[in-house]
Amino acid sequence: MIQRIQTLWLALAAVCMALCFAFPVAAYTFELESTGQTVDARLDLIGKGGADTLQQLAAGEPVVQYAQRLTGMATWPLITLALCVLLLAVLCIFLYKRRTTQARLVALAFLVNVGYAFAVFFWAVDKYRDLLMAGLGGVEPRVTWAVGAFAPLASLVLLFLAQRAIRKDEALVKAADRLR
């Protein structure tokens, strides 16, 4: 039945993964000692267009927005993993009549989400920091984690709750079959 609690958990997990596309994963702040300028950059799954950073730096503007496209950072592995989790969660909502298939796909979504979280925390943020440092002369940034980094962790919890609810439903149906 589509009105079961696992439908709510799966829908919320899909919303959490959709938030990864709307919010940045991390924000970086650089203080350039030579000019006294502050450079702000952010890592998004889909790079947003911005002002021309080189012109802002040359003009001596106090706060410069560093465009993600200047680093050449490839975020397609993160986009692919996030879309897989999002699509699997949505697909699982409509597989309510086949609980075993639904449980397997939720487990797969959970594993892909774990892979996404590892990729964000142990690859993407550090790589983007290194690319920014190379582009700005080796200045060490201050990294601030954003919503895009924590939304997949919430999605992991929601997928776990959905898996548990599916297992409870399956146990309930098997118990009812034994009584017949």
Q: What is the pLDDT of residues 66-94, one digit of tens each?
A: 767 777 778 889 999 999 999 999 999 99
Tell me the whole-structure pTM to 2 decimals: 0.83
The answer to whether residue 25 is domain-embedded is yes
Overall average pLDDT of the 90-103 stretch = 89
Which of 6-10, 163-167, 169-173 bottoms out in mean pLDDT, i.e. has the lowest? 169-173
Range name among 13-17, 79-83, 97-101 with the lowest pLDDT average? 97-101
Structural domain span for residue 61: 5-171
What ranges in 23-68 are assigned the alpha helix state H? 53-59
- Answer whether residue 180 is part of any domain: no
**CATH of residue 52:** 1.20.140
Q: What is the side-by-side order of every strand in the sheet holding 38-43?
A: 63-66, 38-43, 26-31, 142-145
Rounded CA-CA distance 150/132 in Å is 22
Residue 71 lies in a domain: yes
Q: Does residue 53 lie within any of the structural domains?
A: yes
16-54 burial: b if 16+ Cβ within 10 Å, else e: bbbbbeeebbbbbebeeeeeebebebbbbbeeeebeebe
| DSSP assignment letter at 44 | -
pLDDT at 130 over 60: yes
Q: Answer whether residue 177 is part of any domain.
A: no
* 178: in domain: no
Q: Considering only CA atoms, which of 26, 9, 51 is closest in space to residue 128?
A: 26
Evaluate whether residue 176 is within a structural domain.
Answer: no
Q: What's the pLDDT at 107?
A: 95
Total domains in the fold of the chain? 1
Question: pLDDT higher for 24 or 61?
Answer: 24
pLDDT at 160: 95
